[in-house]
Amino acid sequence: MHDATNLSKNGDKMARIKQPMSNRRRIILGIVGIVFIVVGYSVLSNIQKNRNPSDTTIPNLTQFQDGFVEIFKPRKSELEALLNPDAPAKPPWIVVDVWATYSRLFKAMVWASFISVVLGTLMGCYATIESLFSWSLSFLSKIPPTAMLAVFLVIATIFKWDQNMMFIMLVGFGITPTLIQSIYLAAKYDLHKDEIDKAYTLGASNIELIWNVVLRKILPKIIDGIRLTIGPAMVYLIAAEYSLGSEGFGYRIRMQGRMLNMNVVYIYLTFLGMTGLLMGQSMIGIRKLVCPWFGSK
């Protein structure tokens, strides 16, 4: 009893775990973390510039400004300018690459999410469908999609897919099995038997029960599952573009990295991180809007 009392007193003096924090303090600490990264990078850049002023591996602010100019300026090769001076310039790199990468990502996420919601929900509701697909999905989810590049290249040749379709299918293959399994587990275990019995008692058909009870119950998990696949989907797409692409973020990072134009590479990496963060926060906002009862995180 005496030991328990001392432990309680010591615990009151220490910062307890899982304590709430004010938004102001959270924002301040977030800014401090960003400042720490920026200052640390600036120190490394200055050290490298003192060693070699022409080094481009850790660009300074001036070199980053040059990188911004490079990716935003319209393009016209010297040959094109010589042969046809009046021809309009091509769009800047950033415009071409944003359209290529994010159109592929969006299309892959849409069709993969649709298939995952339908099949995952049915697997959670019907033991027959669960038994039919659970083992094969577990197997497919363990295959790294980037290791399947050669396979998708052969398939694209057989079916005469263009490059965009091949990348979309590759990303879809990478995220669909895992997303299906997360939705299936939510549909199977998050719904209590009493809720199903009440729906049947009120005269609901199977379709009505799935639509009005199951899907509404697991909708927050579906949105969170889709949100958590954004990062892996971007990894698979950038890796594919890096290896086989002729446009897009992965292609541009590969080409500029070979020339050690790291001021362009780092800008592209920052853009990827910021847009991925924005997409994730947007999904959280959608979940808060359509599922206000679920929570705020």
Residue 240, domain CATH: 1.10.3720.10
Domain that holds residue 137: 98-290
Q: How many domains does the chain have?
A: 1
pLDDT digits (tens, 9 = 90+) for 8-26: 555 455 567 878 888 888 8
Query: Which tens digits make up the pLDDT trace of 225-281?
Result: 999 999 999 999 999 999 988 899 999 999 999 998 999 999 999 999 999 999 999
Is 58 a member of any domain?
no
Q: Is residue 27 in a domain?
A: no
Segment holding 14, helix H or strand E: none
Read off the pLDDT band of 292 (50, 70, 90). confident
Residue 48 maps to a domain: no
Angle subtended at Cα 189 by Cα 184 and Cα 194, rounded to the nearest 5 degrees: 130
217 in a structural domain: yes
Residue 9 lies in a domain: no
The answer to the question of residue 51 being in a domain is no
- Rounded CA separation 175/229 (Å): 6
> Is 172 within the bounds of a domain?
yes
Domain presence at residue 84: no
3-state secondary structure of 158: helix
CB 131 within 8 A of CB 260: no
**Which three-class secondary structure state does DSSP give residue 190?**
coil
**Joined tokens for residue 110:** 């849409």
**What's the rounded mean pLDDT across residues 74-92?**
65
